[in-house]
Amino acid sequence: MSGAARQPPAYWFDGSAPPWPARALSGVYAGAVAARAALYRKGLLRSRHPGRPVLVVGNLIAGGSGKTPLTIALVERLRAEGLQPGVASRGYGRTQAGVARWVDAATDPTLGGDEPVLIARRTGVPVRVDADRVAAATALVEAGCDIVVCDDGLQHYRLARDLEIEVIDGRRRYGNRNPLPAGPMREPPERGERCDFRVVNLGTDVAVGEGAHDAGHDVPGHAQDGAGFGEWPMRLSSRDAMALRGSRHVPLSAFAGQRVHAVAGIGDPERFFAMLRGLGMAVVPHAFPDHHRYTAADLSFGSELPVLMTEKDAVKCAALAADGLYSVPIRAQLPEAFWVALLDRLHETTKGPRG
């Protein structure tokens, strides 16, 4: 069994009414979330800190919003500043979910999780997967990391944190704003107001190349391009595709005007398909559940068209690699003012972690 998550119900985002059983269960879920948060506020449940700064990246809705590209960008920038970051993750969708393990570029994604393996391959920093984020963070600190980036840990209150970043899907936002399962919300929308930074994933602007945005623009407090007051815009860029067999790089522009199969097993597959269409490709879309485990049959489409897939999907398809399969790496771009503000806040963490 794959353990993969299904695509979210249409009523989360299309404006249709949720079925009454989902609405009834939402009340139970919301009550449990509120009670748990109150126990932590009152100190009846205690948070623990690993002794080095902890930066948590997360979202308020179930499903993807762009956390992984941001996590990679954070790690790369922190390392450029002379820090030694490590990444803590639950490793959603992996087998042996109760077993903590180190993840590196060679780890089987079924054991380490697709996103942790992708992060390890892209950054080379220590990555620890563990359902217990406190244990993962502690292991990273003991391994020599001087800052812990927690991927998808906003609701894991046992891990005390110094900074929180909420990632918002700029296209879907909070959907119908209902709690699970009637809507996508893990926590109430107001929870985001307590985060130190709110980053809005605006997707890939195919008309804008890397470095085209002036660092003096795109500051929070100015609503533009889908980022509202107090929100930082994040754009995703992609220039090349990489062949899964042989690691040959091909400019994405080479596929313009062609029909291609597009494969995406992510939280919002349409974002990937739209990016390829914006680059002039005639896309034959193939959406799979988030964290899907691929077989050769999944990628057999009965034609010789090129197959382009997200980098997250590609890490799980190495053993299935054949001619014509390509990974499309994505990079997150944020305004320089965001990095300045983030680093300033990190310098203040000696004032004490948030529980």
Respond yes or no on whether the N-terminal peptide bond of residue 181 is cis (omega within 30° of 0): yes
Q: Is 316 labelled a binding residue?
A: no
272 to each of 143, 200, 207, 238, 327, how far by Cα in Å? 36, 16, 15, 11, 12
264 is in an annotated binding site: no
Cα distance between residue 14 and residue 209, in whole Å? 31
According to the annotation, is 67 in a ligand binding site? yes
- State how far the Cα of 189 lies from the Cα of 192, in Å rounded to an integer: 6
Name residues whose C-beta falls within 8 Å of residue 134's C-beta, 6 or more positions apart in sequence: 48, 50, 158, 159
Is 65 annotated as a binding-site member?
A: yes
Full strand arrangement of the beta sheet holding 307-310: 249-251, 240-243, 325-328, 307-310, 259-264, 282-287
- Judged by DSSP in three states, 98 sits in coil
Q: Identify whether the C-beta of residue 72 lies closer than 8 Å to the C-beta of residue 333.
A: no
The DSSP annotation for 102-114 comes to EE-TTS-HHHH-H
Which structure tokens are listed for 312?
Answer: 């997250």
| Helix 114-123 / helix 67-80 crossing angle, nearest 10 deg | 30
| Residue 66 marked as a ligand binder | yes
The H-or-E segment that residue 169 falls in is strand 163-169
Kindly report the backbone phi and psi dihedral angles of residue 96, in degrees, each rounded to the nearest multiple of 5, phi listed first.
50, 50
Cα angle for residues 267, 68, 187 (degrees, 5° grid): 60
Residue 203, marked binder: no
Binding site listing: 61-68
Binding site listing for ATP: 61-68
